[in-house]
Structure 1
Amino acid sequence: MAKPSTKGDKSETTAVELTESSAASAQKPRRPKAPAPAPKHGFLSRLYTGTGAFEVIGKRRMWYAISGAMVAIAIISILVRGFTFGIDFAGGTKVSFPRGETNVSQVEEVFRDTIGSSPESVVVVGNGTSATVQIRAETLTNDQTEKLRDALFDKFAPNGPDGQPSKQAISDSAVSETWGGQITEKAVIALVVFLLLAAFYITVRYEWYMTIAAMVSMVFDVVVTAGVYSLVGFEVTPATVIGLLTILGFSIYDTVIVFDKVEENTHGFEHKSKLTYAEQANLAVNQTFMRSINTSLISALPIMSLMVVAVWLLGVGTLQDLALVQLVGVVVGTYSSIYLATPLLVTLRERTELVQNHTRRVMRRRKAASGSKAAPATADDDTDIDTDIDGGDDEAVSTVAAPSTPTPGAKPVRPTSRRTQRPTGKPGAGG
């Protein structure tokens, strides 16, 4: 009796088994792989790497409101409280001598008994052996000043440099209001010249949108710093004006650093459709966070050291005024360069047609990309995506047809020749 199996039957049986096994595997549901958990980064890590995790530009309305409130408080304080001008601005007479065992009430009593009126202020500056008593009053005549010196020496007998009581240890100085007016005029001129030079540089180096944002930021620094002086009652002296010009230089320096990164990120942005102009600017702010913080800390530490030396060791009022305005200005300047200058730049740029068109193209592309993930791709979808990109994106969008799954139990289809449409018997061949 002949064997029922042949070589052709074996191959056909093997093909049928392979088809059934593939059909069974197709019917078996596949378990979706659980997505890997996203790595968690701490606050300091995100701050250091500058990955754009901190939303600054997106919350610019909040920062505008905070900045506006700060300016409003400063202006109200300036109008209501005014400033405590130093003798160089207001004019008057200042008398000082080593403190020794003197207290403020005793000095005020001697002044009233001698001059017939109360002094504007009597303060003790410094500590220890370097402490001095400073009396500030309205402009006194030469006779009044001499009588006051005699009365102070008779009452307190301050020691001179040699450690012996000496009338020369009591010094006096008088400044007229004209001198203070000249200082004020020169300070205003210096401020205007500085603003013009800074505006010219930013316009030439970057663009006029950045110039407007930087100028608004510096005006904000001046108004808020002046408001702090008005609120706290710090004395405004020529050293204050010098310190104010110094912190304006610091503010423009920090602002230019951020603007430089914004320009680097947004260079040729109209030819890309990954991020909007605002998102690129927000990334630039994040990338310069650590630099701004480090610069502020490095600037604030020597200023605080200067305050310690000026107030507690030397008792020098000029250094104290200089340190106070610089410390306030560093804090305000750092805030304005991050939370005011760059958001204002984005607001100005978003009013241009170029940025508006680019933002719409980015949004359409994202919408099309999210739609292609949710629904199967069609020829119309491909056309829309290509239209949105406009040849400006650096990523290609392509669709690949998914292979069809054979029906369970169906006869396998062999490859056919393109010319005769007959089975070729070669795996992998076909149309």
Structure 2
Amino acid sequence: MRSEYDEKKFNFVKASKPFFAFSLVITLLGIIFLSVFGLNYGIDFRSGTSVDISLSKPVDKATAEQFMSAHSLGEHTITVAENRLSIRFKDPLTDQQEKQFRADFTQQIDPKAIYEVNIVDADIAKEQQRNAIIGMAIASVGIILYLTIRFEWRFAVAAVVSLLHDAFVVISLFSIFRLQVNLPFILAVLTIIGYSVNDTVVIFDRIRENLRFAKLKTPHDLEVLVNRSVWQTLTRSINTVITVLVAAICLFIFGSESIKLFSLAMIFGLFTGAYSSIFIASPLWLLLRGKSVPKKAAKAPSAS
């Protein structure tokens, strides 16, 4: 089972402890920030009004802020992009406030402005929060069932822990840095889960294939098998991550404001998913599978 070639290669299993520690630190920080500050929900998940304005001429943020300071419409945030202005109001605007806002902006800033107004009340916001959680839960359960049928329960547990880790790390980072959470963010998290599971399944499939021809006598033999399986799929995993990462970075740099947070969530998730499949899912499966190695075999001298 073992060879000098295997022993000289980088051991992913032994190197997994720092990554476990890093993930634990991020998880604890995330729990603390989520408990104290929660998430910075966008209008999709809390009541308020979103006004997106397509401009016929450039308008800088200072001009927009000056206009808003002259109108007492409550707490708001302003995002300025090329030929587009987005204003998010914490509280829903009344019909009269909305009409007055449009009339004043058209008269004072841009006569040819085109408006897109979305109002979300408290009940709809809560329903969207609930639906997002249900959607993620259904996806996780489906993955558990699929992996249990295709592989075995140990693979399923390791994969689900890995994907939940990826999702929670991204959520924690958004909570720590107070980044806005909206529907595109949920789509990014679900996409991250998909990529994470895909990478994990590729490695697990190679582990299962290698198990068919392996003669395992000691727990170390199993460690060598996992390490070899990771090496055999490493090039494919790296190429996949780099390809998607380049696209996500380009979207973040050159994309519109509406997809920047989606792109940022994807970048976070791709980094965490890249190492979790190798340094968390595989060692965790080894930990679960290693317990089934007979103790007598574990005491047997290893062959060099």
TM-score (norm 2): 0.88
**1:204 paired to 2:156:** no
> Do the aligned partners of residues 245 and 349 (structure 1) sit closer, same or farther apart at CA in structure 2, a change above 3 Å counting?
same
1:146 corresponding residue in structure 2: 99
Alignment match of 1:293 (pick from 195, 214, 238): 238
Aligned to 1:324: 264
2:47 corresponds to which residue? 91
Instruction: Measure how far apart 1:51 and its partner are.
Output: 8.0
For residues 19 and 60 of structure 2, what CA distance do their matches in structure 1 show? 47
Extract unaligned runs of 5+ from structure 1.
1-45, 159-164, 370-431
Higher relative contact order (CA 8 A, sep 6+): 2
Seen in structure 2, the aligned counterparts of structure 1 residues 339 and 169 have a Cα distance that, compared at 3 Å, is same
Corresponding letter in the other structure for 1:348: L
Superimposed CA distance per residue, residues 230-250 of structure 1 (whole angstroms, 9 cap, x where no aligned partner) = 223322111111121111011
Aligned residue for 2:62? 105
Task: Determine whether 1:334 maps to 2:274.
Answer: yes
Displacement of 1:203: 1.1
Structure 2, unaligned runs of 5 or more: none
Amino acid at match of 1:347: L
8 A Cα contact 2:192 2:270, kept in partner: yes
Alpha-carbon distance between aligned partners in 1 of 2:52 and 2:14, rounded to the nearest angstrom: 55
Q: Which residue of 2 aligns with 1:358?
A: 297
Amino acid at match of 1:183: Q
1:228 and 2:180 correspond: no
Distance, in Å, in 2 between the alignment partners of 1:274 and 1:231 is: 40
* Residue 275 of structure 1: how far off its partner (Å): 5.8
> Cα offset for 1:283?
1.5
Distance in 1 (alpha carbons) for counterparts of 2:250 and 2:25: 31
* Separation in 1, partners of 2:219, 2:86: 65
Give the secondary-structure state (helix, strand or coil) at the position aligned to 1:114.
coil
Structure 1 distance, partners of 2:58, 2:47, is 29
2:167–2:192 CA contact under 8 A, matched in 1:
no
Given that residues 216 and 222 in structure 2 are in contact (C-alpha distance below 8 angstroms), is that contact kept between their aligned partners in structure 1? no
Q: Tell me which residue corresponds to 2:124.
A: 179
- Count, aligned residues: 298
Counterparts of residues 42-121 of structure 1 (less than 5 Å)? 53-97=9-53, 98=55, 100-115=57-72, 117-121=73-77
- Would you say 1:250 and 2:195 are equivalent positions? yes
Bigger share in helix = 2
Deviation, structure 1 residue 214: 0.8
Distance 1:304 1:51 in 2: 37
Q: How much identity, in percent, do the aligned residues show?
A: 25
Structure 2 residue matching 1:57: 3-state secondary structure: coil
1:303-361 Cα offsets, whole Å, 9 max, x none, are 223334423xxx5x0x333322222211111111011001111111222243x443332
Which of 80, 85, 90 is the equivalent residue of 1:133? 85
Partner of 1:276, secondary structure, is helix
Q: 1:271 to 1:118 in 2, by over 3 A?
A: closer
Aligned match of 1:14: none
The TM-score with structure 1 as length reference comes to 0.64
Which amino acid is 1:359 matched to? Answer: A
Runs of 4 or more consecutive aligned structure 1 residues displaced over 4 Å after TM superposition: 270-275
Which residue identity lines up with residue 325 of structure 1 in the other structure? Answer: A
